[in-house]
Amino acid sequence: MTLLTVLHYPDPRLHKVAKPVAKVDERVRKLVADMAETMYNAPGVGLAATQVDIHERIIVIDVSEDQNQLMVFINPELVWASTEKKSWREGCLSVPEFYDEVERPDQIQVKALDIHGKPFELKADGLLSVCLQHEMDHLLGKVFVEYLSFLKRNRISLKMKKRAKELVGQR
Ligand code: GNR
Ligand code: NI
């Protein structure tokens, strides 16, 4: 397995729109395994292919306490979203050390393909619902900070650019 490099905001590649996977084959399963390893290593509760510069509709999620219940969503599609909204303090591996409240539909229903290419549907609430919506946004080129005010987003951009510069200086 291979650890993949996670892109950091404001990298323009985070705004590319992912294409559907044409065929769930060994190549895709290898990618899923590498994405899972990268997510667990971070550690994070989810990872979208966009974050590792692969622009295909693939998501891995594990919201279990012991991080031993991997969920894989290939070509995920939103089937339904509740009108009831909920606010959650979100973070992102592409925006390390920044957390802020985002309001999203409380419950959702999603359909996707599993690692064998078999379709399934799933209803989600709580952290799984938040995480799925956060990851599906990534596949559309959207990072959670885009829900924040212009002021907050600018502050985050500046801090991230400063941090990237410091990292280069350390090499
Ligand atoms: O690890 C993560 N935690 C998290 C917490 C609240 C809402 C969303 C997330 S997803 C994030 C991993 C990540 O960046 N996925 O894209
Ligand atoms: Ni994220």
Closest CA to 89 of 148, 35, 34: 148
CA 51 to chain centre: 7
- Ligand 1 pocket, Cβ-based, cut-off 6 angstroms: 44-48, 51, 90-94, 130-131, 134-135, 138
| Per-residue model confidence as pLDDT tens digits over 75-91 | 999 999 999 999 999 99
What's the 3-state SS for 107-170? CEEEEEECCCCCEEEEEECHHHHHHHHHHHHHHCCCCHHHHCCHHHHHHHHHHHHHHHHHHHHH
Provide the token pair at 140: 């559309």
Distance 81 CA to ligand 1 centre (A): 19
Q: Looking at the CA of 59, which ligand is closest?
A: 1
What are the C-alpha distances in Å from 9 to residues 55, 140, 154, 164? 16, 15, 11, 10
Clarify whether 77 is annotated catalytic.
Answer: no
Q: Which of ligand 1's atoms lies nearest the C-alpha of 95?
A: 14
How far, in Å, from the CA of 46 to the mean position of ligand 1?
6
Q: Model pTM?
A: 0.97
The protein residue whose alpha carbon is closest to atom 7 in ligand 1 is: 90
Query: How open is the CA angle 8-92-79, to the nearest 5 degrees?
Result: 115
Q: Give 107-139 pLDDT, tens digit per residue.
A: 999 999 999 999 999 999 999 999 999 999 999
pLDDT of 22-68, one tens digit each? 999 999 999 999 999 999 999 999 999 999 999 999 999 999 999 99
How far the first Cα of the chain sits from its last, in Å, is: 26
Cα torsion 63, 55, 95, 6: sign = positive
Omega before 12 cis (within 30°)? no
Ligand 1 centroid to Cα of residue 132, in Å, is 9
